[in-house]
Amino acid sequence: MRMKSWRAGVIGAILMASCGGVAYAHHSFGAEFDSSKPVKLEGKVIKFEWVNPHSWIHIDVVGPDGKHVEWRVEGGAPSALLRRGWNRNSLPPGTQITVQAFRSRDGDTRASAAEISFPNGQQLSLGNPTTEAVIAAAKRAQGQ
Amino acid sequence: MKQYLKLAAAAAVIIAGAGIADAQAQKKPAAAKPAAAAPAAAAKPAAKPVMKSGGSMATLGGHPNLNGIWQAITEANYNLEPHDSGDSPSGSRQVGALGAIHGGLGVVEGGVIPYKPDALKQRDAYRATAPRYDPEAACYLPGIPRATYMSFPFQIIQGEKGDMLMVYEYANANRAIKMGPVGVPSIDTWMGTSYGSWKGNSLEVVTLSQSPGEYKAPAGEMMENKTWLDRSGNYLGSNSSVTEKFTLIDKDHIAYEATITDPDLYTKPWKIKLTLYRRLEPNAELMDFRCVPYSEEFLYGDLHETKGPSGVGGEANAPAKN
């Protein structure tokens, strides 16, 4: 039946629109983040924001001087995370994680990442396709 | 069939356009027939689109056919409980009687929402500052059941089998109703997650996990908000369950009821009842109500007052005060 052929597309479109309500435009990776400024962040999750166009992990990072700094790390959209099996219990506050991310251009404690890893070595994709592409391009360039 | 595809494509386009600021994606209203074709058209009546008017298909896949454009005629969105007409909650100096509240006999069975004492205090706090934290004022998504009885039409899209779709004119709000057993939603969302099933001739829909979460209110205030049920501060929570029933009374009327259960907020489950009326005009369709630009002054107007419309300095650029 024709119903089946359009249903998947419609429901896919709804998943994109269903978490809406955000008024600002979605900027490119390069406009906001610097692929030449990688940063490694380790710390405990403060909270996880399920918002569009990008989710945000708030991490409490303790510097060598002992000061606590809150970093915000950009992940994929909620629909991308749900497709990768994430749910509300995936990243509870207090979870220790490590993130390899690219720093924001404006110097804020903000970065974009493709995946996070846990102390036991497990890795979890953040469903952030543009950041994944930037990392893949950098790896290819190193390989050359 | 062709009309069905056109309608479905239109719905998909409307929904896809919600997250993308692309004017070309907007559906244009059907073009008028050219004059030359009029004599030929007069000889044969124009085919009625089956889905929009309901047409002759009383059942689909053995279930009542709910396809079409529907709208509630009710004052529920002002206040679910019985209430008098009244002054606008704000802005009557600017808009006078245009912003006033319409009186309503109420849609709550028993008349009063059975809040627990702390929940009632929260309702009254929302009411005292309305519409500051009202998601409708900010053009955020309205949640269920509010989307049903706002003063906008909505469209039900139903096939012979498979998930159902409801698209609301207000802010392009929409939901896919998963037909099957009630599950556990992965996350909280503005419109919640809906699970549907047929109970005899009624469509029963259970909606769970509705929450606006960390909410941006006017002047940059961030707060934890709840899903509002009307403009007067009635609300439900992220652990509430909403069970709706859609029953066709006749081909142009649906008896609609919604039962809301939440032991944290209410002393017992409570129910609203109202009627949905089919939009019968032959060219009935949802218009766009993309209200984000309309709520900009409400959410960000304070920035104009300090920075001016162009973002640059103070009093010289501030809008003239009356």
Range of the domain at A118: 31-143
Closest residue in chain A to residue B7, using alpha carbons only: A6
Beta strands in B136-191 (DSSP E): 154-157, 164-168, 174-179
Q: Find the CB nearest B15 among A17, A78, A88.
A: A17
Residue A89 lies in a domain: yes
Number of structural domains found in chain A? 1
Is residue A53 one of the residues assigned to a domain? yes
What number is the ipTM of this complex?
Answer: 0.76
* Interface test with chain A among B2, B186, B207, B214, by most A beta carbons within 10 Å: B186
Q: What is residue A2's three-state secondary structure?
A: helix
- Mean pLDDT on B111-139: 97
- Locate the chain A residue with the closest alpha carbon to B19: A17
Report, as an integer, the average pLDDT of B42-56.
Answer: 53
**CATH number for the domain that contains residue A105:** 2.40.50
Residue A135 within any structural domain of the chain: yes
Length of chain B in terms of residues written:
322
Of A2, A14, A78, the CB nearest to B187: A78
pTM for this model (two decimals): 0.79
- Whether A17 is in a domain gets the answer no
- Per cent of chain B over pLDDT 70 is 77
Q: How many residues does chain A have?
A: 144
Contact B128, B270 (CB under 8 A): no
In a domain, A19, yes or no: no
Chain A hits for B175, CB-CB cut-off 8 Å, are 14, 18
For a pLDDT cut of 70, what percent of chain A falls above it? 81
Residues 13-42 of A with CB under 8 A from B: 13-14, 16-21, 23, 25
Q: Is residue A119 in some structural domain?
A: yes
Q: Residue-wise over B269-301: b if at least 16 C-beta within 10 A, else e? A: ebebebebebbeeeebbbeeeebbeebeebbee
Query: What's the pLDDT tens digit per position in A92-138?
Result: 999 999 999 999 999 999 999 999 999 999 999 999 988 999 888 88
d(CA A91, CA A123): 12
Question: How far is Cα B177 from Cα B246, in angstroms, rounded to an integer?
Answer: 13
> Helices (H), strands (E): how many in chain A?
4, 6
Asked whether the beta carbons of residue B5 and residue A16 sit closer than 8 angstroms, the reply is: no
**Per-position b or e across B251-262, b if 16+ CB within 10 A of its CB:** beebebbbbbbb
Convert the pLDDT of each residue in A4-19 to its tens digit.
555 544 554 454 444 4
A7 belongs to a structural domain: no
Residue A3 included in any domain: no
